[in-house]
Structure formats: structure tokens, C-alpha cells
Structure 1
Amino acid sequence: MTEFPARYQTALRVAAWLGLAFVAMATLSPLGLRPTTGWPPSIERFLAFALVGGLFAAAYPRYILFAAAIVLGAALLFEILQVLAPSRHGRLFDAAVKLSGGTVGLIAGWLAVRWMPRR
């Protein structure tokens, strides 16, 4: 399996963790502070987790199970934490959308790195 050069690998890892932090903020902040795109919320959720999943898979291609545990675990954890937030609500459907997006992103990112030309 190929990997990106070290400087790109570091940038990917920083982007992956910052992306996850942004998703956490958007998911757990009060509803009025949640950024929106104007798209349906399910599409936003799916795409957010697909992007984060792709970043984690590309950043940690040799540790894809670690990347999956972080992304999919975060999807579940964020949904559970929404139950505790007074202005938010966690729903099983939302968790399924986040898990689906994260899985698609993980697979796409892992395949992109795997099919990358070898140096």
C-alpha cells in the first residue's frame, strides 16, 4: 500500500482531526449556532461524515480499523451526546445516516490511497 509523502500525510492528519472537531461542534452546539448549507440535514450529515471518513482513511491508510473506529465511533458518540443537549435530539435515523456517510468516505479514501500510483 502506498502512502502520501510525510508532509502531505501530516497535513491530511491535521485536516482529518480538524474536520472531526468541526463536525463535533456543528453536531453538539445549540441548534441556532449550527452551520447550514441550505441542503436537507440528512445530506449535510452524510456528506460531513463522508468527508471526515475519507480524510481519516487517507491520513491513516495502514490503520484503517483505527480510522473506522474513530469515524464511526464519533458518529455514534455525537448522536448519543445530542440526547444530553437541551436544544438537540439524537435519533436512530440520524445515526444511520452518519454511519453510512462515514463508511462511504472510509471506503473511498482507502481505495483512493490504495490505487494511488506507486513511487
Structure 2
Amino acid sequence: MTIKRAASLFAWILFAVIAYSTMSPLDLRPRIGHLVHLERFGAFGLLGLLFAIAYPRRLGLVLVLVFATAIGFELLQMVSADRHARVTDVMVKLLGGACGVFGGWFLHRFRLPLLRLLGR
């Protein structure tokens, strides 16, 4: 299995986990700790990174997918009685997703020069 294929698999699994976490009732939502903004930033950062690694030639589409996911899932919370949509939550998710996609672009762009620099 190649790195791109593994990244694609893990990206889609993470997408499903984020969907479940976003739409499940609050008491069933998985939590890592008390820093929910850090959880949101990290989840969307990892999502953006994995999709950028999986689809390095389609970074514009990846960015749109990650942004649409953040906005769409947040808006879907308005349908649920015990969930709420907040602008700050969306902003944290968008920032995390953008950082992840940029990180994936950086890895793809500078992978070979870095390997040469390291002597590999």
C-alpha cells in the first residue's frame, strides 16, 4: 500500500469519525479533554493533511472539501436539538483545515529537496 493510498483511506475514515462526532448527541460525542477548540483544530488539521497527502495534485479541491465539511457539519448541528452552531467553532475548524492542507502541500513540495539535503 502506498502512502497516498493509506492517507486516502485514513482521511475518509477520519471524515466519518468527524461526521459521527459532529452529529451525535452531546453525551455520546467522543472527547479527548477539556480543550474542545484544540480538538476541533487538530481534527480538521489532520483531515486537511491526510487529504492533501492523498491528493497532492488537487489541493484546491481538497481545500474546498475540507472547508465545505467544516461549514456543512456545523450548519447540520442546527437541525439537532441538543447541538449548536457557532461562528467561533467554524473559524477554528477552517483554520485547522487550512493549516493541514498547507502542511500537506509543504510536504509534497519539499519532500525531494529535503531528502537530498538529508542524504537519503
Give the superposition deviation at 1:22.
Answer: 0.7
How big is each residue's C-alpha offset from its partner over 1:18-77, in whole Å with a ceiling of 9 and x where there is no partner? Answer: 111111111111001111111411111011100101001111110001111111110000
Name the count of aligned residue pairs. 114
Corresponding residue number in structure 1 for 2:58:
63
- Tell me which of 2, 6, 20 is aligned to 1:7: 2
Task: Tell me, in whole angstroms, the C-alpha distance in 1 between the residues paired with 2:90 and 2:8.
Answer: 24
Secondary structure of 2:112's aligned partner: coil
Give the superposition deviation at 1:7.
Answer: 2.3
| Pair 1:104-2:99 in alignment | yes
Listed as ranges, the gaps of 5+ residues in structure 1 are 1-5
Structure number with bigger Rg: 2
Q: TM-score scaled by structure 1?
A: 0.90
The alignment's C-alpha RMSD in Å is 1.5
Corresponding residue number in structure 2 for 1:3:
none
Listed as ranges, the gaps of 5+ residues in structure 2 are 116-120
Task: Tell me, in whole angstroms, the C-alpha distance in 1 between the residues paired with 2:70 and 2:33.
Answer: 22
After superposing on structure 2, the runs of 4+ consecutive aligned residues of structure 1 that deviate more than 6 Å are none
Percentage of pairs with the same residue: 40
Corresponding residue number in structure 2 for 1:18:
13
Q: TM-score scaled by structure 2?
A: 0.89
- Tell me which of 72, 79, 85 is aligned to 1:77: 72
